[in-house]
Structure 1
Amino acid sequence: MQRSRASSTSSGRHPAPPPIGLPQPQAQPLEAPKIIVIHPGSQHLRIGRAADLNPLTLLHAVAYRRRPGASDRPHHDPLLPPLDNVNSNSGLMVEFEEQRLLVSRILQHCVVDNKNRLRVATPPQQLAHFNRSSQAEKVPAPSGQMADEPWLDREAPVLFDDRILRLGAVDARNYDIHFPIQRGELNVHKEKGGSLQASMQHLERIWSYALEEGLKIPLRKLGTHCAVLVVNDVYVRRHLREFVTLLLRRLGFRRCFLVQDSVASTFGAGIGYGCVVDIGAQKTSIACIEDGISQLDARVRLSYGGGDLDQVLLLLLRKCGFPYRECNVQESYVDAHLLDELKEKFCHLNTSVCGAQEKHFNLRKQNGQWLRYTIQVGDEALMAPLALFHTELLNITGRTKAVFTQQAVQDQYDCEDCFDAEYLKETGRKNGVRGGDILQLSASAGYQPRPQLPVTADDEELIVVDQDETMSNCQSQLGAQTAGGQLNSNGCYHNGQGLVLPLDQAIIQAINRLSSYETKRKMFGSILLVGSSAKLPGLAAWLEHRISQQVQSEVNVLIKGMDAGMVAWKGAAIMSVLESARELWISQNDWQRHGLRVLRERSPFLW
């Protein structure tokens, strides 16, 4: 692993000269209208020119119309995380109800004003009495909906963006619907359209649609444009290689570079350091940034996000007589999108709001009629976002949630990268023994190192491997393996019951993994909230209070005035026009000639 030249520059040292054989980045004029910034997410894609005020935001999915008479079942990637057998698992519902009562008692001990008056909660039975008697009323179509515009083109071979969100349970059966990114990484699975190359094909179709229909840029003119791609902090190097190939070879951009989303967020927020907490639709990532570098030991991605809160909200609303009883978020994308809108409209973390609140929402039925529903909501609007701090409520979308930290180099090296350090260790020789043979022999009992052999003339041209380093590396791998043979490096982000840590404890755990006390103090004093699900009113103050009760350092949780979901895109747009970003660009010719080698040397993060 090498420190990139960009990181050397940010730390105040002069960048090292490029290796022999790599071309010097040519100084070219930076034209913001010719730079396309792409920020792909699990649910939304944000794309736009670096000169734009705001990016174009669209659903990051594609729906292919099925052939008539197809015998196989349609494939549907869900918009919201699926429930974990809630209907058949009575024990799970009992546990959910116990946690709901626990959170309700916590809210009852909160004060609502300066007179220290406690909150008064409205019982769900009282809310259910009103909601069950509430009847939907017919209303005209929204003003933005044109009368002659078809709601859904059922003959279109491919659907994008809001057209997919108009698919009800019946219409969705005629399409294979794919979300190429799930839980923060490429959605590679064993079902239809789940291979790595198929996922890249889905991305190409979606991004091409966004460029042509949204930004009005013909694909044949992309050779005059550059691209900046925002990637996750916890990444898979093979996936990054495929992303660059997609941008430069398949889409045909002139040049590109990659930037981690947390680093881009610090640029967008205008801060030099901080702990970036990105709460997205299906994942929550935490990363500590200092001088434009994401600290390796303080990166983590948790498998819960705003979509899990949607499912919690739905169960809570059903307990108080949700008037839209036909809601089916598992099969209908219309209903799933509706629930996501209800979370944005209803949910908050303002304890001064108590009692029953009357809310309204509109819904279009399958026959084209628009209906208006009236509902009373109590503490359910607070309990749903509090699931971020009481993760037992999130067990309805899976009791065991994965936690991802950055994999070690030896766990994800790429066989196509002939300059990879692990590849050199395994293929190089010292004293007639290959590095790979050393790893295999050391795993067996009673291994004795071979006696040193004289170096011959043929061996002088072979790569020399430090045998002691190889042996120590192998021993550290063997010692880190658990009984199941898997590396166990994420246990610190689970509690004693095996559940993933709440948001506040995960942040504390990530910051405490830093080695310097001064760095820890700086991170606690600059916690930046970003992401589409970080826009809940009162979330920053609640998170700051929770962390302050557990640490002695001063805690400040920041949230910018702009849309929290656009902060990373804004930061990437700023980075793309900086003078110091010239050395980050990778051209088509560079990628064709040098491949992963140039990506390793030009990437603004530790490869």
Structure 2
Amino acid sequence: MKRARKRTEQEQVCSHKMLTSSKYEKNLPHSPFVLVCDPIVNDFPLSFNEVLDPFNDCLNSDNSYPCTSFEPSKLTDFPCLDLSPQKPTLNKLQKNCNFNDECCSNDYIPEGRRCKGLDSLEDSIKPESSQEASSNPARELDKDSLKPKLEPLPKSASKIGEILQKRPLMAPTAGKRLYPQSLPYLEPIQVNHIIVIHPGSQNLRIGRASDSLPVSIPHCIARRHKVPGQKRYEDPWLVKKECQHAEAKLQQRRGLKQAEEALLSWPNNLGEYRSATSQKQLATYNSCVLGEWTDTHSSLNWTSTIDKPEFLIGEEALYVRTTDCYNLHWPIRYSQLNIHKGPGGTFSSVLADLETIWATALETKLGIPRKDLSDYRVVLLIPDVYIHKHVKALMNILLNNLGFSAAIIHQESVCATFGAGVSSACVLDVGDQKTSVCCVEDGLSHRNTRIVMDYGGSDITRCFQWLLTKSGFNPQHLKITDIVDTRLIQEFKETYCHMDQQQDGVYEYNIHIKKPQSLIIKYNSVKLGDECVLAPLSLFFNDMLALQGSQLCHTQQRYEGDSDDPHDDFYLLQTQSQQQQAARLNAARKKENVEASLNQLDTSFSQYEDTNLSHPQLVDEDSYDGPDNFSGNDTYKGERKLDLEEEEPQDTGPLLQLMGIDQAILHSINKLSNDEIKKKMYSCILVIGGGLNIRGVQGWIQHRLWSQMPVQFRYTLEGMDVITRAKDMEPNLIPWKGASVLSCLDTTQELWIRQKEWQQWSVRILRERAPFIW
């Protein structure tokens, strides 16, 4: 095996120029090639062009390089040269050379560890004779080929001399080696190829991350009967089994009385108190108002089922005639999968409905066929209080069934803070079926502060319908069990309800009843008073909702375990218990050793004292000033009971009772352990969701919280901001917008879970990639 020749003095000087030049101590991100230097001499990455720049100052008169071993035209002969462009960001350099046959080495390596590429280079540049070597010390290079590649430094001999004086000439202990830079490849962000999905109980918001607003459709599906003559089934919307009990009316009246007292006890901006409206007078007047048929047809139409489609989604599913052979399903209820004992209520049926709705919405609303979803990524928003099993099933739908290339899951409250542009806030999310409260600090949701209650905007609609009936407006054309009539009552709520304390008295409204393919019925001069304010106040005084049950308030449950994830919470608890037991045993052993040593010391002192008492002449009274008896080991003696049984922490403690949104906010913030964080949460309350998109709600939230919050925060708090329309957006669109912004950040790129990774690791990868504590 050939040995490399030693470098001449001129080559050493040129190499030292390259090592000591201040230009090469800069990490240029635009350099397309990376040169790894020896860690003893220099540890700065150099570009390929920068390797050749120092030799420009040492060129011969014929522009040839004296250092032939660094001739650029021969650098490609090294097998380990990686001339592929590298990423702009240069991480910590790693040396991958093991001095094998496939890697170039330096001039000083042991015999038998020679790089073949260097041997072939020496053979190609070795002069044929000594005369040729003396006459032509170096080969001439092609100037045209080198001109666009090189960026020569200014020839400044004085500057080089100053650098050489500062850094003395060092022996060439190791040459420079070129290594391929091992950097993680970051794919470019294509915003128009990222889909953001926010599934809700009532609406599905879906769209590209590049869209300004998402597409919103009713999150329901109508499936055709498989058996002719099958009875129609429809998931209930407003009617709840929790409000069908014997004390419902009494509970509603009690809650209504509390809401009226609160309404009359809060003065307006002028310091004047509201005057109560008489429901009896309103009922007497409204009972005389009769509906009139107009000549105008409604713009709504029934869905045509002549082609007998297997399923219909969105608006088409809502306006299917009851006589048609279709069942109507809502796959999500109370922010969780709608699993029940009725038709289509199994776990697999609900997942199949979600897959069908999402795939159809992508194809019909966004124009993305299912076969092209492998070119897209997806961001899925999940509720703050989630069920691990449900999240795993949704990830299987996105990556395995629909075929997205990568996915990210994130919580609604955290995405809402991104959409609103706040770093920390107490997020109040009032949806159609649920109300959740959570404290978010710097993009992290505090687990102990999460509360979900099973009431929302649909309960306000049901309460408003009850108050309209008490005020005498009860059209026979409206039925609370009909889905079309339910949407009409919800439209009344969104139009007429408010929480403006300055709006007082009785107002007249013209109410239109619109049904598909029917004439519009008009009710003129319907008078409404405090009913428009009392209905949304039911979220503060939830006795008006007449809900009773033990499972109406939820907190985050412990991970129930999964067969695909052996290192779950139960495993961690068991191993933690074993470690604690081992630590206790070690401490007990150490204590026993200490006690044994002290006992032995006591015995020695006792023998010594007996000896001294038997020979008092041997004891010098002045030399012994200690106590008469040494019994200091009494504090160390005593039996210690070692309890090896580790008590498991409870999931939620005692079950929480249903509470109003003001009490829920106070309870959530009180779960925080730091007073500074509590002040931060009190200072910013973010209201999202479409259930409480009512004018004047921010004043009521601020008034109720300020009167009930602890005194120490009331006097030290600078202000309380209640944000209901962040950045002039609808509150139900804020989480979706935040998720679209989040998906475009550079820091989010490492959170993507790719399809192959999910297929290999399944739910275990969520422990590493999920942006929240899984």
* TM bucket, shorter chain: 0.7 to 0.9
Distance 1:230 1:343, change over 3 A: same
- 1:498-509 matches, within 5 Å, as 500-509=658-667
**Contact kept in structure 2, 1:229 and 1:257, CA below 8 Å:** yes
- Report the TM-score when normalising by structure 1: 0.80
> Which of 723, 726, 731 is matched with 1:558 structurally?
723
CA contact (8 A) 2:299 2:517 kept: no
The answer to whether the 8 Å contact 1:25/1:583 transfers is no
1:82-481 equivalence runs, <5 A: 82=240, 84=242, 86=244, 89=246, 91-114=247-270, 116-139=271-294, 141=296, 151-153=303-305, 155-167=308-320, 170-171=322-323, 174-330=325-481, 332-365=482-515, 368-374=518-524, 375-395=526-546, 397-400=547-550, 402-409=552-559, 412-423=560-571, 474-477=646-649, 480=650
Q: Return the alpha-carbon distance in structure 2 between the equivalents of residues 261 and 62 of structure 1.
A: 24
SS class of match (1:51): coil
Q: In structure 2, what is the equivalent of residue 36 of structure 1?
A: 195
Q: Which amino acid aligns with 2:746?
A: E
Which SS does the other structure have where 1:285 is aligned?
Answer: strand
Q: Quick check: 2:376–2:405 contact (8 Å CA) kept in 1?
A: yes
Matched residue, 1:63: 222
**In 2, Cα distance between equivalents of 1:142 and 1:577:** 46
Letter in 1 for 2:219: H
Measured in 1, the distance between the counterparts of 2:302 and 2:254 equals 47
TM superposition shift of 1:51: 0.6
Deviation of residue 129 (structure 1)?
2.3
TM-fit CA distance, 1:529: 0.6
Q: Secondary structure at the match of 1:74?
A: coil
Question: What residue is the counterpart of 1:606 in the other structure?
Answer: 773
Residues 150 and 282 (structure 1), Cα distance of their counterparts in 2 relative to 1, 3 Å cut? closer
Contact map agreement 1:275 1:527 (CA 8 A) in 2? yes
2:683 maps to a residue whose letter is G
Structure 1 range deviating more: 266-275 or 98-107 = 98-107
Higher-RCO chain (CA-CA 8 Å, sequence separation at least 6): 1
2-structure distance, mates of 1:542, 1:152: 45
Deviation string 1:193-245 (CA, Å, 9 cap, x unpaired) is: 11222111010111112101111111111111110000111111111111111
Note closer, same or farther for the CA distance 1:413–1:61 as it changes in structure 2 (3 Å cut). Answer: same
Give the whole-Å Cα distance in 2 for the aligned partners of 1:85 and 1:541.
29
Q: Deviations over 1:89-143 (max 9, x none)?
A: 3x421331233233223323343451x3322232122222232222222335578
| Cα deviation digits, residues 399-441 of structure 1 (max 9, x gap) | 55521111124xx12122123242476699989xxx9xxxxxx
Aligned residues: 524
User: How far has the Cα of 1:598 moved from its partner?
Assistant: 1.7
What is aligned with 2:236?
78
Q: Using the alignment, how far apart are the partners of 1:210 and 1:371 within structure 2?
A: 34
Structure 2: runs of 5 or more not aligned: 1-90, 92-181, 582-641
Q: 1:509 to 1:262 in 2, by over 3 A?
A: same
Q: Larger deviation: 560-569 or 353-362?
A: 353-362
Given the superposition, is the C-alpha separation of residues 140 and 50 from structure 1 closer, same or farther in structure 2, using an over 3 Å criterion?
farther
C-alpha deviation, 1:528, in angstroms:
0.6
Residues 270 and 357 of structure 1, relative CA distance in 2, 3 Å threshold: same
Matched residue, 1:538: 696
What is the letter of the counterpart of residue 405 of structure 1? T
Deviation at 1:273?
0.8
Question: How far apart, in 1, do the equivalents of 2:366 and 2:667 lie?
Answer: 42
8 Å contact 2:413–2:427 — kept in the other structure? yes
Q: Which stretch of the first structure deviates more once superposed, 352-361 or 332-341?
A: 352-361
The DSSP-based 3-state class of the residue aligned with 1:216 is coil
| Secondary structure in 1 matching 2:357 | helix
User: What is the Cα-based RMSD across aligned positions, in Å?
Assistant: 2.9
Question: Cα distance 1:110–1:273, how it changes in 2: closer, same or farther (>3 A)?
Answer: closer
The percentage of counterpart residues that share the same residue type is 33
Conserved 8 A contact 1:167-1:333: no
1:5 paired residue number:
none
- Separation in 2 of the partners of 1:118 and 1:430? 64
Q: 1:167 to 1:128 in 2, by over 3 A?
A: farther
Q: Is the contact made by 2:197 and 2:379 (CA closer than 8 Å) also made in structure 1?
A: yes
User: Equivalent residues in 2 for 1:566-577 (5 A)?
Assistant: 566-577=733-744
Give the letter aligned to residue 291 of structure 1.
Answer: D
Residue pair 1:276, 1:289 contacting (<8 A) in 2 also: yes
> CA 1:164–1:24 in 2, change beyond 3 Å: closer, same or farther?
farther
Task: Classify the secondary structure of the residue corresponding to 1:359.
Answer: strand
Q: For residues 313 and 234 of structure 1, what CA distance do their matches in structure 2 show? A: 28
- With over 3 angstroms needed to count, the CA separation of the structure-2 counterparts of 1:130 and 1:536, relative to structure 1, is same
Distance 1:85 1:539, change over 3 A: closer
Residues 358 and 280 of structure 1, relative CA distance in 2, 3 Å threshold: same
Larger Rg over CA atoms: 2
1:514 — aligned with what? 672
Q: How does the TM-score come out when normalised to structure 2?
A: 0.64
In 2, Cα distance between the equivalents of 1:598 and 1:49?
A: 25
Distance 1:125 1:578, change over 3 A: same
Offset at residue 589 of structure 1 (A):
0.9
Which deviates the most, 538-547 or 132-141? 132-141
1:349-375 per-position Cα deviation (integer Å, ceiling 9, x unaligned): 112212222223333346622222342
Instruction: Point out the more displaced range, 335-344 or 134-143.
Output: 134-143
Separation (CA, whole Å) in 2 of partners of 1:356 and 1:401: 39
Q: Partner of 1:571: helix, strand, or coil?
A: helix
CA distance in 1, matches of 2:739, 2:288: 50
Distance 1:603 1:35, change over 3 A: same
Q: Which amino acid aligns with 1:581?
A: T
TM-fit CA distance, 1:515: 0.7
- Aligned to 1:549, the other structure's residue is in SS state helix
Please state whether the residue corresponding to 1:358 is helix, strand or coil.
Answer: strand
2:653 aligns to what?
489
SS of the residue corresponding to residue 595 of structure 1 reads helix
CA contact (8 A) 2:420 2:738 kept: yes
Q: Secondary structure at the match of 1:476?
A: coil
1:446 matched residue in structure 2: none
SS in 2 for 1:417: coil
Matching residue of 2:749? 582
Change (3 A) 1:102 1:37: same
